[in-house]
């Protein structure tokens, strides 16, 4: 198996995006976070640092749970998407 950039691998996924986010962040908790581990832990790049706060986009989530594990301040509520929504691998 050859190593390909993460962008190429993510392009092989099919996303059935729900209108109800399965991950929610708590801005009041995230605003006090110095390290913002979720930004570095998310392999899909769903978290970004913008002017000292965390910006999150759930649509490209690969449902790995890394953000929830990495956050040591309980600033993330994480659940699996509702049935039939979410990511399907190797479809692209």
- The share of the chain scoring above pLDDT 70, in percent, equals 95
Distance of CA 88 to the CA centre of its chain: 15
Q: Where is 40: in which H helix or E strand?
A: helix 37-41
In angstroms, the first-to-last Cα distance of the chain is: 17
Going from the N-terminus, what domains does the chain have, and what CATH number goes with each? 6-80 (3.30.70.20)
> Residue 69: how many CB atoms within 10 A of its CB?
13
pTM given for the model = 0.81
> Span 38-46, mean pLDDT?
95
Tokens of 38: 């979720």
What's the confidence (pLDDT) of residue 44?
93
Nearest to 78 by CA among 31, 46, 53: 46
């Amino acid at each position: 198996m050859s190593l390909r950039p993460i962008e190429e691998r993510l392009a092989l996924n099919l996303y059935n995006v729900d209108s109800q986010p399965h991950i929610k962040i708590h801005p009041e908790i995230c605003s006090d976070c110095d390290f913002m581990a979720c930004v570095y832990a998310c392999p899909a790049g769903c978290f970004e640092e913008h002017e000292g706060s965390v910006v999150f986009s759930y649509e490209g989530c690969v449902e790995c749970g890394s953000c929830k594990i990495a956050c040591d301040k309980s600033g993330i509520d994480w659940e699996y998407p509702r049935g039939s929504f979410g990511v399907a691998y190797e479809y692209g």
